[in-house]
Amino acid sequence: MMDYLKPLPTITDENEPFWSGLEHGELRFQRCGGCGHYRYPIAPVCPRCLAVDFVWTPVSGRGRVFSYVVFHHAYHRGFAADLPYNVALIRLEEGIFMFSNIVGIGNEAIVCDMPVMVDYERVTDTITLPRFRPVLMP
């Protein structure tokens, strides 16, 4: 884990609850105390009602692949050994959109709208990243 060469989050007072939640296996987001809107990216105020109050609220971790791409070029040296690698835009059940990676299947098996579930990958001693794994439909 000492030679993790990819970008890592810079932990701040604002984002610490997001990242410490992941350490404990919990994906959580800011939910507005005024209107209930989940906001992401992490922000100082609700973009719907401008209320400042919020509660860090766990989400189901379930969502769908809204879109995805496969990188064949390494714009960052930390990803060079992973080529070709995917990045997906996930739409969570709660309506939140976030970027992540699809794990557990080959890039060629990814399709838009496929159901996925959050998975947690500890990448350094202090950082765990949320990834997403396909859910087999019954």
Partner 1 sequence: MSPSAAIVGVGKTAQGTLPGATALGLQIAAVKGTLADSGLDKSEIDGLLTQPGTTAPEGAYNYLRLGEALGLSLRFGGSFAMGGATCLASLQMAAHAVSSGAANAVLCVFGDVARSGGSKFDRAAGWGDSWGIWGMFSAAANSAMTARRHMHEFGTESRHLGEVAIASRRHASLNPDAVMRAPLTMEQYLASRFIVEPLRLYDCCLISDGAVAFLVTTLERARDLRQRPVRVMGAAQAHSPETIGNPDWWYMPHQRLAIEQVYAQAGVGPADMDFAQIYDNFTISVIVWLEQAGFCERGEGGPFVEGGRIQLGGELPVNTAGGNLSESYMQGWLHLVEAVRQLRGECGDRQVPDAEIGLVTGRGMTLNCSAAAVLGRG
Which one of 2, 75, 106, 138 is in contact with partner 1 (CB under 8 A)? 75
For the beta carbon of residue 46, count every other beta carbon within 10 angstroms: 21
Question: How long a stretch of residues is the chain?
Answer: 138
User: x/- contact string, 1-40, with partner 1 (CB under 8 A)?
Assistant: -----xxxx--x-xx--x--------------------xx
- Nearer to partner 1 by Cβ, of 67 and 126: the residue is 67
17 closest CA partner among 39, 42, 52, 50: 42
Q: Is 73 a residue that touches partner 1 (CB under 8 A)?
A: yes
- Nearer to partner 1 by Cβ, of 80 and 138: the residue is 80
Residue 74 sits at φ, ψ, to 5 deg, of: -95, 105
